[in-house]
Amino acid sequence: MGWIGHLTGGNVAFFSADMATMAPETKNEGYRIRLRSTLRALAARARAILTSSLASLALSFAASVLAIPALQAQSGGNQSQPPANSQPAQDIPDAPSTVQPPAPKLPAAVPPESGTSAPPAYPGEATGQQPDQNKQAPPPMPPVETIPAGSRPRNQINPNEDLYTIRVPTTLVQIPVMVKDSDGRRVDGLLPKDFTVLENGKKQTLSYFSSDPFELSVAIVLDTGMSDVTLQKVNQTYGSLVGAFSPYDEVALYTYSSTVSQVTDFTGRLQRLTDALNEMKLVRGHDNGPPILNGPLGPNGPTINGAPAGGPVIAPVNTPPREAYVLNDAILRAALDLSRRERTRRKLIFVISDGRELGSRASYKEVLRVLETQGIQLKAVVVDSGALPGYRQIERIHHLPGQGYSEILPKYVAATGGGQILSELSRNAMEEAYAQLTSEARNQYTLAYVPKAVAGPAAYRSIEVLIDKKGLDIYTKAGYYATPSAH
């Protein structure tokens, strides 16, 4: 009964003790009256409490709604405000022009979200892009110092030289040098101080010296115009020819007789060279003796009284085909291809021929100039008639008619520093010559110096290499053509 008194404020008169003595009907009627009055009082009190709670909630909600604009105004106050006297921009289009087309209308910039500050604008940076938050600011630049007007920067290493004086050597002359003793054996172990280089009689200062072996770029020039007997003998030595090169070398194969042909391009795959040389074994050389023009074996078949059987009475004039041995053209073709190879390799033309030259378009002087300009050595193995004792001495007097002359290969070899020309007749001698010449080409002393600049057209400069030891033979190139300077 205490909770009823709490809700009614304690003013509700509840059942008393004397009701127990009342009659049941009277008692029930009084009970109902008192209960109704009590429930009415409870309902009125509940309505009052509910009304008070709803009023409090309404006041709280109104206060929160009124506080939101104040907070937005407070957060927007941190951003830059436009001037008080500024007028809002009117989005009124300009009148169309007949001269200049209207400028494209750019979309309005999207304002930053609430609670974030707009990034500072940097030159060359897009408006909508933000800088990297983790990127550190660049360090402060040191103060700019300049030299007085009209003066030049001072070289602190060598005050006597200007800072902007740059020396670029346009030509580095490389000289491969082979040194042999009186028995023809290669001499090793020499030092730079043992050599003296003279250019046009003037001593030069060496800027490079090495005795290490070089990788080779080799152009093999094979004469297929030799007699068939000699060519077949050469074909049996191809295995030793391939074995004379290392896997680091690159080799190309050329053949010549009346024309020049390139069989293979430069390659470091020796198996490719082997395959090409094996195919060359099917090539036949020239027949020995004079050409057959008449008779049963002649080109025109049987004849009657000098005239072909069944043909005209007047016999045709038969002229033998003109033979040609274009050795100069073959060397020139190989030299031009070698000039495009890497400069770090030693360039070599390896000729296997009888040495005859006849019918080339290029002259000896023209070919030699290319060889000396590109720094190409020429080594040769002379076979067949060129290897016979006394044959070259006879041709030096006057070359045999229709057979060309064979003294040209020794001239090439001597001018380019190729050492000694080897004249071999037997198969074993040829194979030994291959190994000797490639070993000499790879293992030479390499000297280099920077000559003085040359103005005007290219001029020939002679080279002489001296050694401070007696009884030694030196093989090197005779000279070179200097390249004119660019200024």
Could you list the pLDDT tens digit for every one of the 487 residues in the chain? 444 444 444 544 444 444 444 455 555 677 788 888 888 888 888 888 888 777 777 777 777 766 666 556 555 555 445 444 545 445 555 555 544 555 555 455 445 554 445 544 444 444 444 555 565 665 665 554 444 555 545 444 455 655 445 454 457 899 999 999 998 899 999 999 999 999 999 999 999 999 998 899 999 999 998 888 889 999 999 999 999 999 999 999 999 999 999 999 999 999 999 999 999 988 887 765 555 556 666 666 666 666 666 665 555 565 555 678 899 999 999 999 999 999 889 999 999 998 889 989 999 999 999 999 999 999 999 987 666 665 445 444 444 444 445 678 999 999 999 988 888 778 898 999 999 999 999 999 999 998 877 665 668 899 999 998 888 999 999 999 876 654 4
At residue 250, φ and ψ (nearest 5 deg) are -125, 135
Tokens of 99: 């001269």
**Model pLDDT, residue 487:** 46
Q: What's the Rg (C-alpha) of the chain? A: 55
**Model pLDDT, residue 386:** 66
**Model pLDDT, residue 271:** 93
Give the span between the Cα atoms of 68 and 269, in whole angstroms: 85
The CA–CA distances, whole Å, from 395 to 163, 400, 405, 466 equal 63, 7, 6, 33
At residue 222, φ and ψ (nearest 5 deg) are -110, 130
Of the chain, the end-to-end C-alpha distance in Å amounts to: 124
**Model pLDDT, residue 138:** 57
Q: Considering the entire predicted model, what is its pTM? A: 0.59
Give the span between the Cα atoms of 197 and 205, in whole angstroms: 8
**Model pLDDT, residue 48:** 81
Give the span between the Cα atoms of 376 and 388, in whole angstroms: 28
CATH code for the part of the protein at 170-213+443-487: 2.60.40
Tokens of 98: 């007949």
**Model pLDDT, residue 161:** 54
CB within 8 Å of 349: residues ≥ 6 apart:
218, 219, 221, 331, 334, 335, 338, 371, 376, 377, 378, 379
Tell me the angle at which helices 364-374 and 327-338 cross, rounded to the nearest 10 degrees.
20
C-alpha torsion 81→85→89→90, nearest 10: 150
What is the SS3 string spanning the chain? CHHHHHHCCCCCCCCCHHHHHCCHHHHHHHHHHHHHHHHHHHHHHHHHHHHHHHHHHHHHHHHHHHHHHHHHHHHHCCCCCCCCCCCCCCCCCCCCCCCCCCCCCCCCCCCCCCCCCCCCCCCCCCCCCCCCCCCCCCCCCCCCCCCCCCCCCECCCCCCCECCCCCCCCCCEEEEEEEECCCCCECCCCCHHHEEEEECCEECCEEEEECCCCCEEEEEEEECCCEHHHHHHHHCCHHHHHHCCCCCCEEEEEEECCCEEEEEEEECCHHHHHHHHHHHCCCCCECCCCCCCCCCCCCCCCEECCEECCCCCCCCCCCCCCCCECHHHHHHHHHHHHCCCCCCCEEEEEEEECCCEECCCCCHHHHHHHHHHHCCEEEEEECHHHHCCCHHHHHHHCCCCCCCECCHHHHHHHHECCCCCEECCCHHHHHHHHHHHHHHHHCCEEEEECCCCECCCCCEEEEEEEECCCCCEEECECEEECCECCC
Tell me the angle at which helices 228-235 and 427-442 cross, rounded to the nearest 10 degrees.
60
CB within 8 Å of 85: residues ≥ 6 apart:
none
The fold of 215-285+321-442 is Rossmann fold (3.40.50)
**Model pLDDT, residue 238:** 93
The CA–CA distances, whole Å, from 252 to 99, 132, 197, 264, 281 equal 71, 59, 33, 5, 17
What's at 252, amino acid-wise? A
